[in-house]
Structure 1
Amino acid sequence: MQTKLLINGQLVNGDGPIQAVFNPALGRVLVEINEASEAQIDAAVRAADHAFQSWSQTTPKERSLLLLKLADIIETHGEELAKLESDNCGKPYSAALNDEIPAIADVFRFFAGASRCMSGALGGEYLPGHTSMIRRDPVGVIASIAPWNYPLMMVAWKIAPALAA
């Protein structure tokens, strides 16, 4: 199991305190990992902010193709991801494999399509005598906390729309 942090494209060990990760169904430690230090969190945010500059300029086509590729990778590694999700959350493997993994891949496919056809009124006279236009521009780096019971699905629900916009 990979336990390193991904910061600025590099896998690094956490410099923070050791955190035990338990299988809640069995009460056993799955792995002990080092948390990120405050400096590593700052470095990750800086790297994400830097990446935002180029990502925010990608075309809907590029975003769509990358989201579709990610969905394919999720399906290719479905058994491995389902095992991790099952152990991490204490849920049945079959539920993770047959219910969650396909739904997670589908979230990325849905937003791959949505990235090409953002809906809503894009122009009009919202004030008399003035033509207004709505632009959907990414706003920047965010942090997200995922609950323990559906971490992969929560990641999909947060990341896919953010990457599509």
Structure 2
Amino acid sequence: MFKKYSLFSAFVFFCSFNFFVNSASAIELDDATRTVTLDGSGKTTVLSPEQVKRGKRLFNATCGACHVGGVTKTNPNVGLDPEALSLATPRRDNVEALVDYLKNPLSYDGLESIAETHPSIKSADIYPRMRSLTDEDLFSIAGHVMLQPRVVTEKWGGGKIYY
């Protein structure tokens, strides 16, 4: 019985240690790390610590069920990593493009609306979690998606290798 509790205690310690060591808080991220691409022209913006925290919380609550670690469960070939976002039509590798996508999602090739199958503001009647999201919330979520490759590097969108 002692051995059982020792293993459990070691497991809890290991998980707690990894959580605290591997998770950087928004305040710890410097301005350079929190700088993300704002629009298609390459203009950048610096996310505030509050936007970083809000984006992470909202992403996990609204998008995290299907996009764990930047991977798309329903189509693992199309993730939220920078390369996949840049190859979409239209490009989705900036905050404004992602906000637009969250309002009115299009297929990866940009040819048809997928609002009935992907949560969006346009389909908020089908996806209740989208109903209360403001433009500021969408900006924070998009900022989170753009920030993660800088924080967790290749793990973001890394697929089965990491998650």
Q: TM-score range by the shorter chain?
A: under 0.3
Please identify the structure whose Cα radius of gyration is greater: 1
TM-score normalised to structure 1 length: 0.26
Ranked by relative contact order (alpha carbons within 8 Å, sequence separation 6 or more), the top structure is 2
Larger strand percent: 1
